[in-house]
Amino acid sequence: MPKRIFLSFIFAFATVGLFGLAFAKDAVPLADDPVTEQRLIVISEEMRCLVCQNESLAGSRSDLANDLRREIRILIKEGKTDEQIRSFMVERYGDFVLYRPPVKPITWLLWIGPFVILLAGIIGLMIYLRRRNQSAPSTTLSEEDNRRIDALLNDTKSSSTENAHD
């Protein structure tokens, strides 16, 4: 019986594996010229995939990234410089396509925004902690309360020494 279960698992995994192969995509063809491909990689490493957003254009496998790499290959073959290709991509997709957008008034929020959010969080935390400390009642003990506490502590000490002698 265990052998039959084992064979069933093997059959199930093989079926799933073959099913996955049926839907696998073909590899994207590289450029005919290795120099062109190297330039493509250098340029696309500096650009963000507009679909994935956290991946470079070179590392992304989305359909849009494939189209953009194809477009860059065409521009390289047309003899465009790297800067002309970057300018073309920025004109078409905006500064967001660059991993390091230039510092200019329209991109100040991209550069300064994280620091502003961090500063606002720190200020908010400080305000919260001050309000919490102010709302906590501060009680001063009377002389009578202090004597009772001392008596309780002395009783505790004496009972613990009696238990140690037993």
Give the tens place of pLDDT for each residue, 13-63.
666 655 555 554 544 455 567 888 889 999 999 898 888 878 888 888 889
Residue 44 CB partners (closer than 8 Å, separation 6+) = 56, 57, 58, 68, 69, 72
Between the two ends of the chain, the Cα-to-Cα distance in Å is 66
Task: Extract the runs of DSSP E, i.e. beta strands, from the chain.
Answer: none
Same domain assignment for residues 110 and 62: no
Same domain assignment for residues 74 and 111: no
Same domain assignment for residues 32 and 95: yes
pLDDT at 18: 58
Task: Compute the CA torsion angle 107, 111, 113, 114 (nearest 10 deg).
Answer: 150
Of 62-76, 83-97, 134-148, 151-165, least confident by mean pLDDT is: 151-165
Q: How far is CA 102 from CA 98, 99, 110, 112, 146, in A?
A: 9, 10, 10, 12, 67
Q: What predicted TM-score, i.e. pTM, was given to this entire model? A: 0.51
pLDDT at 36: 85
| Number of domains into which the chain is organized | 2
Is residue 163 pLDDT above 70, yes or no?
no
**DSSP-H helix ranges across 23-107:** 34-45, 63-77, 82-93
Conformation bin of residue 48: beta by default, left when phi > 0, alpha when psi is -120 to 50 = beta
Which pairs from 14-21 meet CB under 8 Å and 24+ separation? none
Same domain assignment for residues 85 and 111: no
Q: Which two tokens stand for residue 71?
A: 């477009």
Same domain assignment for residues 81 and 115: no
pLDDT at 148: 92
Mean pLDDT confidence for 135-163 = 81
Range of the domain at 55: 25-101
